[in-house]
Amino acid sequence: MENDIETKIKQDLLAEIQNLEQNYKVIEGFVSGKDYEVTVIGSSIQSFKDSLSRASAFVLALYNLKGKRVNIPWDPLFTSLDYALATLSTAPKKAAVQAILTMAEPQIEQVLFYFSALKESLK
């Protein structure tokens, strides 16, 4: 039974990692100067944030199944993403959001590196 639960968690985690990677492509493009509609970038930021929350929960669940503890240090990134989303409702939107995401990009890349390594270990 525990093996079935672990398998399901791993499958769900892999799906969330894929979502993170897809949304990051839009965020990365926006930061590098590609022109996106505000709704598209807002949707990508929110989807990235939501996937990161779910992926973190799956990581915690996997560690708990093994009787281990893990620290998920993404709080500063969540704060930056919240700022970016809040800024979308102000003017000038794009430049401000681009600045916030540029500052958060190293944290986003750290998260993606972590989940990329985790994805490889789950295969």
CATH code at 88? 1.20.120
Q: How many domains are there within the chain?
A: 1
Domain residues for 86?
Answer: 2-122
Look at 95 and 92; give whichever has higher pLDDT: 95
Q: According to the model, what pLDDT value does residue 32 have?
A: 94
pLDDT in tens, 2-25: 689 999 999 999 999 999 999 999
H-helix or E-strand containing 28?
A: helix 2-31
Task: Give the global pTM.
Answer: 0.88
Model confidence at 94, pLDDT cuts 50, 70, 90, reads: confident
